[in-house]
Amino acid sequence: MSTDHRVLLLGGTGRTGSRVLTQLLDRGVPVRAIVRSAQRLPATAAGHPLLEVVEADLLTMPTAALVAHLDGCDTVISCLGHTISARGLFGAPHLLVERSIRRVHEAIEVRPPAAPVRLILMSSVSVHLPDRADTRRGRGERAYLGALRAVLPPARDNQRAADLLAREVGTADPHLQWVAVRPDTLVEGDVSAYDVHETLVASIFRPDHTRMANVAHLMGELATDDATWQRWRGRMPVVVDTEAPLPAPSP
């Protein structure tokens, strides 16, 4: 597999993924985006010379096709998520994120890269670190989240995707390195001041907030700045705004 500085983006039509896409293009980073429909890409990105669009179903495309799409990409960013609708939340595929990450991992193993591919996963503060390493998450929160994961497939999916990276890929894989970025409640707004923490800083019952633009900014830093990558690789940083959220628009 040949590698270059190019990002393979999954979920680039979503609320956060579209911000990741535009910010990467603004930084001059070439992007290959696998999307279900190119029509849902942000208008500012359409026809951009640094953007290559692949219209395909990530979960059903042949492995050989995914291997080919990974060619030349040193970084993969996933902003996949279940659409907020009854079908998106409760319909198939229940394990969209976990299955997608597993497919990427398997495709990388088919044609191992010269240097490890860097995977940046959009995760959530609802996800906790393995082995109770998030000391702030007490028994009550764990019980609540356990019940939530039992009834809400996306909550289960996010934890399973993170567990796949932490427990199966680990930190010594010769072909895949990863960072799982954990934002709190997603809000609108331009890039602003934000903090990145090793572990949870707020309770799930008293949530913090994170601008989607700030998630995209951190992902852009991880994709382009080696020191930032080395600081967080194999970890699940929590990203939260340091400014109050914008007031909701009046009706």
Ligand X SMILES: NC(=O)c1ccc[n+]([C@@H]2O[C@H](COP(=O)([O-])OP(=O)(O)OC[C@H]3O[C@@H](n4cnc5c(N)ncnc54)[C@H](OP(=O)(O)O)[C@@H]3O)[C@@H](O)[C@H]2O)c1
The residues that touch ligand X, with contacts defined as CB under 6 A, are 11, 13-17, 36-37, 40, 58-59, 79-81, 83, 93, 96-97, 122, 124, 154, 158, 183, 185-186
Nearer to ligand X, 22 or 124 (CB): 124
CA distances from 167 to 108, 159, 164, 191 (A): 18, 12, 5, 33
Here the tokens at position 249 are: 């628009």
Which residue number places its CB atom closest to ligand X?
Answer: 14
Minimum CB–partner distance for residue 28 and ligand X (Å): 23
Residue 54 phi, psi (nearest 5): -115, 115
Q: Which residues, 6 or more positions from 26, have their beta carbon under 8 angstroms from its beta carbon?
A: none
Minimum CB–partner distance for residue 107 and ligand X (Å): 16
Nearer to ligand X, 17 or 237 (CB): 17
Minimum CB–partner distance for residue 172 and ligand X (Å): 26
Best CA proximity match to 35, nearest among 67, 60, 13, 65: 13
Best CA proximity match to 170, nearest among 131, 136, 216: 131
Minimum CB–partner distance for residue 136 and ligand X (Å): 17
Q: How many CB atoms are located within 10 Å of the residue 241 CB? A: 21
Half-sphere exposure of 72 (CA within 13 A, CB side): 8
Nearer to ligand X, 8 or 79 (CB): 79
Minimum CB–partner distance for residue 174 and ligand X (Å): 28
Nearer to ligand X, 72 or 93 (CB): 93
Nearer to ligand X, 39 or 135 (CB): 39
Minimum CB–partner distance for residue 214 and ligand X (Å): 12
Nearer to ligand X, 117 or 216 (CB): 216
Helix (DSSP H) and strand (DSSP E) numbers for the chain: 8, 10
Here the tokens at position 89 are: 């939340």
Residue with tokens 């949870």: 200
